[in-house]
Chains A and B, each alone.
Chain A
Amino acid sequence: MEVVDKDKTIPGDALKSQEYFVNMGPQHPSTHGVLRLVLTIDGEIVKRIEPHIGYIHRSIEKMCEKDSYRQIVHLTDRMDYLSCHINNVAVCLAVENALEIEVSDRVKVIRTIIDELTRLASHQLWWGVMGMDLGAITTFLYGFRDREMITDIFEETCGARLTMNYNKPGGLMFDIHPNFQKRTKEFVEHFKKKLPEYDQLLTGNVIFQERTKGIGVMSKEDAIAFGVTGPAGRASGFECDIRKKNPYHVYDKVEFNEVLLTEGDSFARYKARIQEMWESLSIIEQLIDNIPEGPIEEKTNAVIKLPKGEFYQRVETARGDFGVYVISDGKKSPYRLKFRSPGFSNLFILDKIARGSKIADLVAIMSTLDLVMPDIDR
Chain B
Amino acid sequence: MNSVIKYFSDIAHGVKTLWKGMMVTGYYISHARKEIITQQYPENRDTLQMFNRFRGEVIMPHNEDNEHRCTGCQACEIACPNGTIEIIWDRKPDPETGKKKKSIHTFVYHLQMCTMCALCIPACPTDAIIMGQDFEHAVTDRSKLTKILNKPGSKLMKGVEE
A, B bound? yes
At the interface, yes or no: B33 with Cβ under 8 Å from chain A? no
Query: Is A138 in contact with B25, judged by CB distance below 8 angstroms?
Result: yes
Q: What CA separation (Å) do A165 and B118 show in the bound complex?
A: 8
- The answer to whether A206 and B13 touch (CB under 8 A), given A71-B119, A156-B51, A177-B53, is yes
Q: What CA separation (Å) do A196 and B69 show in the bound complex?
A: 54
Q: Which of B14, B37, B119 has the most CB of A within 10 A?
A: B119
Query: Is B55 in contact with A159, judged by CB distance below 8 angstroms?
Result: yes
Residues of A within 8 A of B131 (CB): 159
Query: Is A163 in contact with B116, judged by CB distance below 8 angstroms?
Result: yes
B31 vs chain A, min Cβ distance (A): 13
Q: What CA separation (Å) do A295 and B129 show in the bound complex?
A: 25
At the interface, yes or no: A75 with Cβ under 8 Å from chain B? yes
Query: Is B81 in contact with A205, judged by CB distance below 8 angstroms?
Result: no
Residues of A within 8 A of B23 (CB): 200
Residues of B within 8 A of A205 (CB): 17-18, 21
Residues of A within 8 A of B79 (CB): 70-71
Q: What CA separation (Å) do A71 and B123 show in the bound complex?
A: 12
Query: Is B53 in contact with A159, judged by CB distance below 8 angstroms?
Result: yes
Query: Is B20 in contact with A145, judged by CB distance below 8 angstroms?
Result: no
- CB-nearest residue of chain A relative to B121? A173
At the interface, yes or no: B93 with Cβ under 8 Å from chain A? no
Residues of A within 8 A of B14 (CB): 206-207
Q: How large is the interface on A (under 10, 10 to 19, 20 to 34, 35 or more residues)?
A: 20 to 34
Query: Is B21 in contact with A200, judged by CB distance below 8 angstroms?
Result: yes
B 128-152 binary contact with A (CB < 8 Å = 1; else 0): 0001000000000000000000000
A 196-239 binary contact with B (CB < 8 Å = 1; else 0): 01001110111100000000000000000000000000000000
Residues of A within 8 A of B37 (CB): 145, 148
Q: What CA separation (Å) do A102 and B34 show in the bound complex?
A: 47
Query: Is B119 in contact with A74, judged by CB distance below 8 angstroms?
Result: yes
The residues in A between 53 and 81 inclusive whose CB is less than 8 angstroms from any CB of B are: 67, 70-71, 73-75, 77-78
Query: Is B24 in contact with A201, judged by CB distance below 8 angstroms?
Result: yes
At the interface, yes or no: B4 with Cβ under 8 Å from chain A? no
Q: What CA separation (Å) do A148 and B38 show in the bound complex?
A: 10
A 163-186 binary contact with B (CB < 8 Å = 1; else 0): 101000000011001000000000
At the interface, yes or no: A155 with Cβ under 8 Å from chain B? yes
Residues of A within 8 A of B54 (CB): 155, 159-160
Query: Is A160 in contact with B17, judged by CB distance below 8 angstroms?
Result: no
Residues of A within 8 A of B122 (CB): 173
Residues of A within 8 A of B21 (CB): 200-202, 204-205
B 33-67 binary contact with A (CB < 8 Å = 1; else 0): 00001000000000000010111000000000000
At the interface, yes or no: A158 with Cβ under 8 Å from chain B? yes
Query: Is B53 in contact with A74, judged by CB distance below 8 angstroms?
Result: no
Q: What CA separation (Å) do A147 and B140 show in the bound complex?
A: 32
Query: Is A159 in contact with B18, judged by CB distance below 8 angstroms?
Result: no
Residues of B within 8 A of A206 (CB): 13-14, 17-18
Q: What CA separation (Å) do A177 and B52 show in the bound complex?
A: 10
Q: Which of B17, B20, B21, B25 has the most CB of A within 10 A?
A: B21
B74 vs chain A, min Cβ distance (A): 14
The residues in A between 136 and 164 inclusive whose CB is less than 8 angstroms from any CB of B are: 138, 145, 148, 155-160, 163
Query: Is B24 in contact with A173, judged by CB distance below 8 angstroms?
Result: no
Residues of B within 8 A of A207 (CB): 14, 18
At the interface, yes or no: B154 with Cβ under 8 Å from chain A? no
Residues of A within 8 A of B18 (CB): 205-207
Query: Is B115 in contact with A74, judged by CB distance below 8 angstroms?
Result: yes
Residues of B within 8 A of A174 (CB): 53
Query: Is B119 in contact with A70, judged by CB distance below 8 angstroms?
Result: yes
Q: What CA separation (Å) do A173 and B21 show in the bound complex?
A: 44
Query: Is B20 in contact with A74, judged by CB distance below 8 angstroms?
Result: no
Query: Is A159 in contact with B81, judged by CB distance below 8 angstroms?
Result: no
B79 vs chain A, min Cβ distance (A): 7
Query: Is A71 in contact with B81, judged by CB distance below 8 angstroms?
Result: yes
A151 vs chain B, min Cβ distance (A): 11
Residues of B within 8 A of A157 (CB): 53
Q: What CA separation (Å) do A173 and B120 show in the bound complex?
A: 12
- The answer to whether A74 and B55 touch (CB under 8 A), given A163-B116, A206-B17, is no
A 228-264 binary contact with B (CB < 8 Å = 1; else 0): 0000000000000000000000000000000000000
- 28 A-B Cβ contacts within 8 A? A71-B81, A71-B117, A74-B119, A138-B25, A145-B37, A155-B51, A155-B54, A157-B53, A159-B54, A159-B118, A160-B54, A160-B116, A163-B115, A163-B116, A165-B117, A165-B118, A165-B119, A173-B122, A174-B53, A177-B53, A200-B20, A201-B21, A201-B24, A204-B20, A205-B18, A206-B17, A206-B18, A207-B14
A-B pairs, top 3 by smallest CB distance, nearest first, are A74-B117, A71-B81, A159-B53
Residue ranges of B at the interface with A (Cβ–Cβ < 8 Å): 13-14, 17-18, 20-21, 23-25, 37, 51, 53-55, 79, 81, 115-119, 122, 131
A sample of 7 more A-B contacts (CB under 8 A), given A71-B119, A177-B53, is A138-B25, A155-B51, A156-B51, A156-B53, A159-B118, A160-B55, A204-B21
